Amino acid sequence: MKTTKKIVLPENEMPTAWYNIVADMPTKPMPMLNPKTKQVLTKEDMEPIFAKALIDQEFSQERWIEIPDEVRDLYRIYRPTPLVRASGLEKALDTPAKIYFKNESVSPVGSHKLNSAIPQAYFNKIQGIKHLTTETGAGQWGSSLSIACKHFGLDLRVFMVKVSYEQKPYRKAVMNTYGAQVFASPSAETEIGRKMRQQFPGTNGSLGMAISEAVEEALKDEYTRYALGSVLNHVMLHQTIIGLEAEKQMEIAGDYPDVVIGCFGGGSNFGGISLPFLRHRLVDGKQVRVIAAEPASCPKLTRGKFAYDYGDTEGYTPLLPMYTLGHDFQPASIHAGGLRYHGAGTIISQLRKDGFVEAQAIQQEETFKAGILFAQAEGIIPAPESTHAISVAIREALKAREEGTEKVILFNLSGHGLIDMMSYEKYLQGGLHNFEIEQSTIDSSIESIQSLQP
Ligand SMILES: *Cc1c(COP(=O)(O)O)cnc(C)c1O
């Protein structure tokens, strides 16, 4: 009998609540700190920046948080996403392992980011907020939030890192198509932007500068708030829809994963696919392993330090207890832009510290090789970020071949790569290389955050 290729969940079986793993964690995450006073950050501290419902979620210890009907309605455009048996990849690897992937690339923007953009726009809308601001690097988050804001009648201003704005004009066009305004950052729209332009004429911009501009606008107007696409607890929470659907689909397939894998930028898609399965380990003692796949050029989970650090490069955000390379760390310009972040969200960091999360760092050449193998075997060109998860899945499948074990592997395909073909082109031309980071570089970057510790 042929195995089922695609396990499709009916619309009416889409999960009705997100899963908050904090309720089941043996050690709760340490609190965020106010960067000025180093006192425990309060909900009130965050209210000028984020919608109240999102702040409540950020601090919540409730296990299940209901997904509002309006959010579920919009999820229905592309959810439930299919779970796919990677039979082509299994064959190409000649492995006895069964490989499954959750296909988040089917969303209108081509990635998982919409899963959090929709609820973030919704909770701002019902509070009476009129405008949102955000930053975007490569454009995945900005595009997602543009769709969500248009739907809920909010206007959106996106500060896009100048170098991306110039190199990736189609991403800007995508956001404009959905009705958002996009500015190359640093821009002339904000005080901090004007100051940066004066101080550093011709600068390429940075994510840190773009965040500062977006936050400045949110702070200046009582009907404006800011939205962030990764790292924070509430973002991780929204993304658990991925794993909750996969849990039901694996059951339909009649399998249970021995290992669950996701690529790792700030942790949102990794947390999304893995936390609902990690729950079985915390609550029922299941032996499921979860592995974060990070780039060797930005190895916060494998070579970083667990410490308090800023969430951004300029030091405007609260201090977060997390695995970090130091907020000054400058990763090489690898082609998985979404993974070039210096820290890991606080929930994943605590779980890693307590031994529940494994991590592997992968070099760029291995990831593109894996991406091309996957494209040829399964027909989908994966996002450069997602190729990190594919690389670890391949490593696990080859290990299963050596050991002769019929292991079940599940990974998240966080996005497709059709808007990243320049990177593939460069790889195919032989122009992409590995980067080794000297330990002393990491040490000195981490050294610089010693003074931030309470
Ligand atoms: C943004 C992005 C990532 C990394 O972000 P996480 O918060 O770690 O999930 C991974 N894959 C794709 C396709 C992205 O757009």
Is 1's pLDDT higher than 60?
no
pLDDT per position as a tens digit, 193-223: 999 999 999 888 888 789 889 999 999 999 9
- The answer to whether residue 315 scores a pLDDT higher than 90 is no
pLDDT over 90 at 314, yes or no: no
Buried b or exposed e, range 290-306, using 16+ CB within 10 angstroms: bbbbbbbbbbbbebbbb
- Is there a domain that residue 82 lies in? yes
Task: Kindly state the tokens that stand for 55.
Answer: 């702040």
For residue 271, the ligand 1 atom closest to its alpha carbon is 9
Q: Which atom of ligand 1 is nearest to the CA of 231?
A: 7
Number of domains in the chain: 1
> Ligand 1 mean position to 402 CA, how many Å?
31
CA 270–ligand 1 middle distance (angstroms): 9
The ligand 1 atom at the shortest distance from the C-alpha of residue 416 is 13
pLDDT value at position 337?
76
Distance between Cα 168 and ligand 1 center (Å): 17
Distance between Cα 414 and ligand 1 center (Å)? 6
Residue 188 lies in a domain: no
Ligand 1 proximal residues by C-beta, below 6 Å: 111, 113, 140, 230, 263-270, 338-339, 383, 385-386, 414-415
In-domain check, residue 353: yes
SS3 letters for 375-389? HHHHCCCECCCHHHH
Confidence of residue 108 (pLDDT cuts 50, 70, 90): very high
Identify the CATH number of the domain in which residue 400 sits: 3.40.50.1100
Q: Is 51 part of any domain?
A: no
What is the residue with the minimal CA distance to atom 8 of ligand 1? 265
Q: In what order do the strands lie in the sheet with 131-136?
A: 181-185, 155-161, 131-136, 224-226
Q: How confident is the model over 401-408, as a mean pLDDT?
A: 96
Q: Does residue 97 carry a pLDDT above 80?
A: yes
- Interval between CA 264 and ligand 1 midpoint (Å): 7
d(CA 54, CA 64): 14
Residue 367 lies in a domain: yes
Average pLDDT over residues 360-376: 97
Predicted local distance difference test score (pLDDT) of residue 44: 96
Ligand 1 atom 4: residue of nearest CA: 265
Q: Would residue 192 count as lying in a domain?
A: no
213-252 per-position pLDDT tens digit: 999 999 999 999 999 999 999 999 999 999 999 999 999 9
- Tens digit of each residue's pLDDT (9 = 90 or more) over 15-72: 999 999 999 999 999 999 998 899 999 999 999 999 999 999 999 999 999 999 999 9
Residue-number span of the structural domain to which 346 is assigned? 5-14+68-110+234-452
Segment (H or E) for 6: strand 6-7
Least confident residue range of 236-250, 311-325, 341-355 = 311-325
CA of 232 to the centre of ligand 1 (A): 13
Whether residue 89 is contained in a domain is answered as yes
Give the atom of ligand 1 at the shortest distance from the alpha carbon of 267. 8
Among 18-22, 165-169, 282-286, which is the least confidently predicted range?
A: 165-169
| Position 414 in a domain | yes
Q: What is the rounded average pLDDT for all residues in the chain?
A: 95
